[in-house]
Structure 1
Amino acid sequence: MTIKDTISTAAVVGSGYMGGGIAQVLALHGYKVMLGDVDGETAEGARVRLVQQAKGFEAQRLLPEGAAKTIEGNLVAAASIEEAVAAADYIAEAVPEKPDLKAAILRRVSAAAPSHAIIGTNTSAIPISELAASVTGPERFLGVHWMNPAPFIPGVELIPGEDTDPSVLARAEELIRSLGKTPARVADTPGFVANRLQFALYKEAARIVEEGVATPDQIDAVVSNTFGFRLALFGPFAIGDMAGLDVYESAYRTLEKAYGERFAAPEALAATVREGNIGLKSGHGFLDIDPAEKDALLAYRDNAYARLSQLRAELGQAPGL
């Protein structure tokens, strides 16, 4: 296939909360964005809402001065989905997470879009190769999974399907970086990475409630003020390497004794510890952290945690919680 050297026009199909946020980000960064939805009236209503919302964000200094004007100048409501995608270089599909609906929309989108257009689906968990069966030209199709709220969450998962052309993946990554976001390439499996981890945590939290160990509000307090606090700045492997993988393996032994095999230490962890690689204190763990950077990393960590604590104190308690 042939894709353009540059992306200048975009379409967002599905202008609800997620699609609307994606459209705002694209428009703010100078891309002409056509909004497509069930009909032109719905798309126009979304355009008006997104501009007004951007004005509110700007007034709160969540977006830079002039952002709302830029977004307004780059957003256009299309009369139909087909019109929205007809001249697009990049298309973001963001309709509700229903496989049949996404398949139907992707058939319409890929039939009406230019052959060079890259098509990204914002599915949260549906395998890309499953959805690709509904796309004409699946080599230009991939998962581009944003997190909610799209204007403010920096990470975006990029998920190639079996047929995705490597050049399409590279161009999509360039686009996401141009939006000030942080892309991560991950494999095509149900739930990908973010939601597989997120839903595993949610399931265990619900189980703790069912067992009467803690209430939902108590669990939220523990998570947001302990390891969840750290996760705002570091991923689980960085945190584990700083804490010590030998400590982790020992904790797993206690958990396995209490809860069974589901809490057995992962073999990858056990093997790493057997090799003497227990993290930052041994010079190597799951991550290859330069020992010369140890003191600087720990100083960064402490400073980051202190500043995050200060920010939370300034923000105060979340309303209603």
Structure 2
Amino acid sequence: MIKNVSVIGAGTMGNGIAHVFAQTGHRVVLIDVSAAQLEKALRTIEKNLDRQLAKEAITAQEKAATLQNITTETRLEEGVAEAQLVVEAATEQETLKLEIFRMTDAAAPADCILATNTSSISITKIASVTSRPGQVIGMHFMNPVPVMKLVEVINGYATHTAVSDTIIALSKKLGKMPALANDYPGFVANRILMPMINEAIYSLYEGVARVEAIDTIMKLGMAHPMGPLQLADFIGLDVCLSILNVLHNGFGNPKYAPCPLLVNMVNSGKLGVKSGEGFYTYTPGTKELVVSEKFR
């Protein structure tokens, strides 16, 4: 039974993953090279727990126990030394992830499972830099992690069936719904989602419709909770571009080619929510959705 979990990366996904493991009784070591980022992550987790407390989804005792289950570490080797499961949630950059897995493989116990929260990078390629490819697996949580139920579980070419079964059972214990996929570009979630987002951007680029119309049609016509352009802003336009490039390079099919408008926006630093502007503009303290001046 897995009790000790290390989470590498204290950003949006990492702190959410740490939150759900800690809340279900696991001892979590949250690892990041930045002590400031770790402090920010703990504040975010506490804020999200307070939100749950206000909704009476948890008790004050459960909040305290969750926070007590989390420790932080800036040194990867020390942070994974007692782990039974490591979940990597660093920035979606292949070279960075490969280096993290090399280091983690060298430092983690021999029977430890190594999971990655990658949304598109090959599990098989990540596993190839370790001495334990059978114990490497994808565990792709959705954002925001404490709220979203899905965990996309991705088997690499060499992933052992027992490891896959363990991660599926563990996901259920977290209160999540695991869905199993095999290791091909984009897996399932992003292989379907990203072409839709890209087509929405092409529709804007080609003058088919404006930002509000595209998102309204998809929300009201297809019952999507968020339009594809707003969703792209939420994910991060740089992340969308990176995943589309993985799909385009992986399949060699022009249907996955990123829209030139998306490329230009990323090159100009308009990345969506994280930069304050994408297809919409984002002002701290307000939830009003305002179309970027560029697209009015």
Residue by residue, what CA displacement relative to the aligned partner does 1:77-124 show, whole Å, maximum 9, x if unpaired? 124111111101111000000000000111111111011111110001
Residue by residue, what CA displacement relative to the aligned partner does 1:233-262 show, whole Å, maximum 9, x if unpaired? xxxxxxxxxxxxxxxxxxxxxxxxxxxxx8
Match of 1:72 among 26, 47, 67: 67
Q: Closer, same or farther in 2 for the Cα pair 1:44/1:123, shift >3 Å? A: closer
1:48, distance to aligned residue in structure 2 (A)? 3.0
Residue by residue, what CA displacement relative to the aligned partner does 1:166-210 show, whole Å, maximum 9, x if unpaired? 100000111100000000001101111111111111111112112
SS state at 1:226 partner: helix
Count of aligned positions: 230
2:183 aligned with 1:188 = yes
2:55 aligned with 1:61 = yes
Letter aligned with residue 51 of structure 2: F
Residue by residue, what CA displacement relative to the aligned partner does 1:59-84 show, whole Å, maximum 9, x if unpaired? 44274223421221100112411111
Q: Closer, same or farther in 2 for the Cα pair 1:158/1:49, shift >3 Å? A: same
Distance in 2 (CA, whole Å) between partners of 1:154 and 1:35 is 21
Match of 2:95 among 74, 95, 100: 100
1:43, distance to aligned residue in structure 2 (A)? 6.2
Query: 1:231-242 alignment to 2 at 5 Å?
Result: none
Partner of 2:19: 24
2:41 aligned with 1:52 = no
Query: 1:151-300 alignment to 2 at 5 Å?
Result: 151-229=146-224
- Native 8 Å contact 1:51 1:71 kept in 2: no
- Native 8 Å contact 1:54 1:63 kept in 2: no
Residue by residue, what CA displacement relative to the aligned partner does 1:3-47 show, whole Å, maximum 9, x if unpaired? xxx1011010111110110000000000000011115x2464145
Match of 1:131 among 126, 148, 153: 126
Letter aligned with residue 98 of structure 2: A
Residue by residue, what CA displacement relative to the aligned partner does 1:119-145 show, whole Å, maximum 9, x if unpaired? 110001011111112222111101111
Distance in 2 (CA, whole Å) between partners of 1:50 and 1:68 is 13
- Native 8 Å contact 2:30 2:73 kept in 1: yes
Aligned-residue sequence identity (percent) comes to: 34
1:49, distance to aligned residue in structure 2 (A)? 1.7
Partner of 1:259: none
Distance in 2 (CA, whole Å) between partners of 1:213 and 1:166 is 47
- Native 8 Å contact 1:47 1:77 kept in 2: no
- Native 8 Å contact 1:143 1:158 kept in 2: yes
Letter aligned with residue 24 of structure 1: H
SS state at 1:87 partner: coil
Poorly superposed stretches of 4+, deviation over 6 Å: none
Query: 1:299-318 alignment to 2 at 5 Å?
Result: none
The unaligned stretches of length 5 or more in structure 2 are 227-254, 256-285, 290-296
* RMSD, aligned α-carbons: 2.0
SS state at 2:182 partner: coil
Q: Which has the larger radius of gyration?
A: 1
1:54, distance to aligned residue in structure 2 (A)? 3.1
Partner of 1:283: none
Partner of 1:88: 83
Partner of 1:114: 109
Structure 2-normalised TM-score?
0.73
Q: Closer, same or farther in 2 for the Cα pair 1:112/1:46, shift >3 Å? A: farther
